[in-house]
Amino acid sequence: MSVLDRLGQKLLFTFDPETAHGMSIAALRCGLPVGARTVRDVRLNVSLCGIDFPNPLGMAAGYDKNAEVPDALLGLGFGFAEVGTVTPLPQAGNPKPRIFRLTADEAVINRLGFNNEGHAAAEKRLAARKGRPGIVGVNIGANKDSSDRVSDYERGVTRFAAYASYLTVNISSPNTPGLRNMQAREQLGELLSRVMAARAAATAQPPVFLKIAPDLVEAELEDIAAEVVEKRIEGVIVSNTTISRPALRSTGTAGETGGLSGKPLFERSTIVLAKMRKLLGPDMAVIGVGGVDSAETALEKIRAGADLVQLYTSMIYAGPALPGRIVAGMARFCETERLKSIRALRDSRLDQWASKPLS
Ligand X SMILES: Cc1cc2nc3c(=O)[nH]c(=O)nc-3n(C[C@H](O)[C@H](O)[C@H](O)COP(=O)(O)O)c2cc1C
The residues assigned a catalytic role are 173
State how far the Cα of 2 lies from the Cα of 7, in Å rounded to an integer: 9
User: Between residues 62 and 320, which has the closer beta carbon with respect to ligand X?
Assistant: 62
Q: Are 286 and 266 in contact (CB under 8 A)?
A: no
Task: Name the site residues for ligand X (rule: CB under 6 A).
Answer: 60-62, 65, 85, 99, 108, 110, 112, 139, 170, 173, 211, 240-241, 261-262, 265, 289-292, 311-314
User: Between residues 25 and 339, which has the closer beta carbon with respect to ligand X?
Assistant: 25
User: Cα angle at 280 between 279 and 286, to 5 degrees?
Assistant: 115
Chain centroid, CA 96 distance in Å? 23
Distance linking the first and last C-alpha atoms of the chain: 34
User: Between residues 262 and 305, which has the closer beta carbon with respect to ligand X?
Assistant: 262
Residue nearest to ligand X (CB): 62
Provide the minimum distance between the beta carbon of 20 and ligand X in the complex, in angstroms, as a whole number. Answer: 11
Provide the minimum distance between the beta carbon of 144 and ligand X in the complex, in angstroms, as a whole number. Answer: 13
State how far the Cα of 308 lies from the Cα of 79, in Å rounded to an integer: 9
Q: Are 159 and 196 in contact (CB under 8 A)?
A: no
User: Between residues 40 and 96, which has the closer beta carbon with respect to ligand X?
Assistant: 96
Provide the minimum distance between the beta carbon of 212 and ligand X in the complex, in angstroms, as a whole number. Answer: 10
Cα dihedral sign, 153-155-157-160: negative
Provide the minimum distance between the beta carbon of 1 and ligand X in the complex, in angstroms, as a whole number. Answer: 17
Q: Give the residue among 342, 334, 264, 349 at the shortest CA–CA distance from 308.
A: 342
Torsions phi, psi for 81 (to 5 deg): -130, 135
Provide the minimum distance between the beta carbon of 98 and ligand X in the complex, in angstroms, as a whole number. Answer: 9
Cα dihedral sign, 297-76-4-102: negative
User: Between residues 43 and 303, which has the closer beta carbon with respect to ligand X?
Assistant: 303
Q: Are 248 and 107 in contact (CB under 8 A)?
A: yes
